[in-house]
Structure 1
């Protein structure tokens, strides 16, 4: 008989939906830096959500490259922290790449909630045994979130980015239909 570690709940379809949505975006390609920084302005609050979504989708590889560059810079001052952060990053990103649906492992049924709780537990344990790294982690990720958040908010979403996103979505729809 299969036992549930965490009973199925309302969050499981939501978690799978997020994983699948991010998985369909693909990896894209890096946008040249001159285009990345060409036009900034103060956004209208009514269009802020659309601007952030468009910029995140269009510049996602640039944001990933920024994260990698920041990890490399931090690696010079604290290589152990950089390794730990890289392992945790990969651990958190696996569900977005693989999109695991509920499955059975031995006599236990693993749901998306189990995966999220397990990943959070591994992260908490990693920081309990490496307390000094918690400060690095918080400062590092706050700086990253600040840089990316400011860029997504103030970077004007161009027609080129909207057109490229639309073309990619249509192409993926055609691929999934076949």
Structure 2
């Protein structure tokens, strides 16, 4: 790993820790977040796995990803692209698929699935723009885009794009509010 990549890895990790301190009232210290919060471990290990993935070391990438899932209960495919500040609160059961793209400062809760549709080797998982919030148990499926600042309610099943600043709830999800 180059010196630039190491600095970026550390800077992004510190940003995630600080963001967790801001969003989680149960977090008492940065050390507690670093050592005990599963999403910090899962995202850090994902960044390593992703580096191996883009450098065509797919077996090692999948091995690291598998270990992270085993340790944290959060499954992130090494091919997924994740921005800074992702917060996965109570992350058990979160699944992020291979072609998913997550922007900066997004927030996911337990049981969220960013899942794919189809078996083709194309973009088949959701794209989350910056500041997207997804409630517990929500399923976002297929090559859809959740625009900046949108909110997805708990247990929603989302199959279509969501406009910027909108809120979607239900099965199948429908827009109930648009800012």
TM-score (norm 2): 0.28
Higher strand proportion: 2
Larger Rg: 1
TM-score (norm 1): 0.28
Higher helix proportion: 1
Question: Which structure carries more relative contact order (alpha carbon 8 Å, separation 6+)?
Answer: 1
